[in-house]
Amino acid sequence: MGDITVVKFGGSSLADSNQFKKVKEIVTSDNRRKFVVPSAPGKRYKGDHKVTDLLYMCYQLASHGLNFDEVFNLIKDRYTEISKELDLDVDIEGFLKEIRYNISNGASRDYTASRGEYLNGILLANYLGFEFIDPKDLILFDEDGNFNASNTESNVSEKLENISNGVVPGFYGANGNGEIITFSRGGSDITGSVIANGVRADLYENWTDVSGFLVADPNIVVDAEPMDIVTYRELRELSYMGAPVLHEEAIFPVKKHGIPINIRNTNEPLDKGTMIVDDESPVKSKGITGISGKKDFVVISVEKTMMTLEKDFFRKLISVFETNDIFIEHMPSSIDSISIVVQASQVSHKLKKIIEEIRIFCNPDNIVTYPDMALIAVVGRGMIRTKGISAKIFSALEKSSINTRMIVQGSSELNIIIGVENKDFDKAIASIYKAFY
């Protein structure tokens, strides 16, 4: 298809007519930006509502037979205001009327939630002079509501082949019966990625309200530097540990063909943002790429002499968590002990039961639990080739008098995971950041 950039704009980028103007300027400043994926309007100011939240509210009220006019009028006002201020040639009242009718007549939760993107797509297509393409004809789900990647890829490729410029709303598609199905919340990122993959784009730009990813959470490290380049795998590690900005499933469609993702800032369009690149791309780094983490874990430490000589010890131990429907985050071990790291929220009511079952099935010498733990991931492809990374991390923590309770490093040497107490979480991240930047 030639030189193509797919651009996705988040909710804050399309919150009002002013933001629409910025978006138009960005799209028209580069004729490679051929396909645009909009989210529903986000918050315009602190305390404002996201349109998708309002739509979910309408669905809730309607499903209980309650009047939802008051909430729906807030949605109506948002769209009519944008349309009027941009002087658009769209029968927005007609579209809103139809949606209101469908919701009051029992439309599904997914249909209702998807209308935010749908309406924004109609307005944006009109404003840009692009063709409007409804993703219900492009993005396919099976009868169980699972995304059908391979059929979607060929469908997108075929249907967009002869379209020079199009707007495809994010967040939803449809199943074989034409029923609207949404991705999980924030799923417009996935739509953008799916479109980029289908049209074999050279680049997928994801425009939001920050200038790319920062090395650390700006709420903890006030002037955290932006990351210039991060690989798909590094990003998976960082987002799993809580780094926000991009929906983590958005990486898979573009990864297939090595399409880079560029995270950009709609309000600062000259900032170059962060490039997310193929895992094989060469990388210059200061040894670490980013630091992220999550609080509120429980560590259950099981001690047993000669446990490694019992063939079924680990299986029995893991099956206790499996039968209690609990996900294990990490399992660092030594010769006579193993620690199981789980989210506190998952075990809060079951901890006694789990410990009792470990006693019965595994017959350990001792079980100790450590509550209120936080995990911090220090991630970087450069680690494997840079001497002294670990020493730098741990001396920084020591200088700040932080007690390291656990260390996990996989053989891929892409990350080091450090367990600290919840109360030391912010201080630990700030100390590690300072050691490298």
> In this predicted model, what pLDDT tens digit does every residue of 244-269 receive, in sequence order?
667 768 888 888 889 999 999 999 99
The answer, yes or no, to whether residue 240 has pLDDT greater than 90, is no
Distance from C-alpha of 225 to C-alpha of 23, rounded to nearest angstrom: 25
Say whether domain 5-277 belongs to CATH 3.40.1160.10.
Answer: yes
In whole angstroms, how far apart are CA 127 and each of 38, 90, 120, 192, 268? 13, 10, 10, 20, 21
Residue 140 contacts residue 130 (beta carbons within 8 Å): no
- What's the whole-number mean pLDDT along residues 32-53? 96
Is pLDDT at 411 greater than 80 in this prediction? no
Taking all residues of the chain, what is their mean pLDDT, rounded to a whole number? Answer: 93
The mean pLDDT of 110-131, rounded to a whole number, is 98
Computed from CA positions of residues 83, 84, 86, 88, in that sequence, does the dihedral angle turn out positive or negative?
Answer: positive
Q: What pLDDT, on a 0 to 100 scale, did the predictor assign at position 362?
A: 95
**How high is the pLDDT of residue 53?**
97
Rounded distance between C-alpha atoms, residue 386 and residue 383, angstroms: 5
- Say if residues 251 and 193 touch (Cβ distance below 8 Å): yes
3-class SS of residue 256:
coil
**pTM, rounded to two decimals:** 0.83
Q: What is the mean pLDDT of residues 154-178?
A: 96
Q: What distance lies between CA 99 and its chain's CA centroid?
A: 28
- What's the pLDDT tens digit per position in 332-376? 888 899 999 999 999 989 999 999 999 999 999 999 999 999 999
What integer pLDDT is reported at residue 212 of this predicted model? 87
Q: What is the DSSP letter of 358?
A: H
Would you state the pLDDT for residue 234?
87
Domain 290-436 has CATH 3.30.2130.10: yes
Domain positions in the chain: 5-277, 290-436
Rounded CA-CA distance 312/365 in Å is 16
**CB-based contact 235:246 (threshold 8 Å):** yes
What's the pLDDT band for 62 if we cut at 50, 70, 90? very high
Q: What integer pLDDT is reported at residue 148 of this predicted model?
A: 94
Q: What pLDDT, on a 0 to 100 scale, did the predictor assign at position 284?
A: 67
pLDDT digits (tens, 9 = 90+) for 161-170: 999 999 999 9
pLDDT of residue 245: 61
Query: Would you place residue 232 in the very low, low, confident or very high pLDDT band (cuts 50, 70, 90)?
Result: confident
> Rounded to 5 degrees, what are φ and ψ at 92?
-65, -35
CB 309 within 8 Å of CB 336: no
**Contacts of residue 275, Cβ cutoff 8 Å, sequence gap at least 6:** 228, 229, 230, 260, 261, 262
Q: What is the largest CA-CA distance in the chain?
A: 76
pLDDT for residue 293 is more than 60: yes
Centroid of chain to Cα 36: 19
Whether 290-436 and 5-277 are alike in CATH topology: the answer is no
- The whole-number pLDDT of residue 80 equals 98
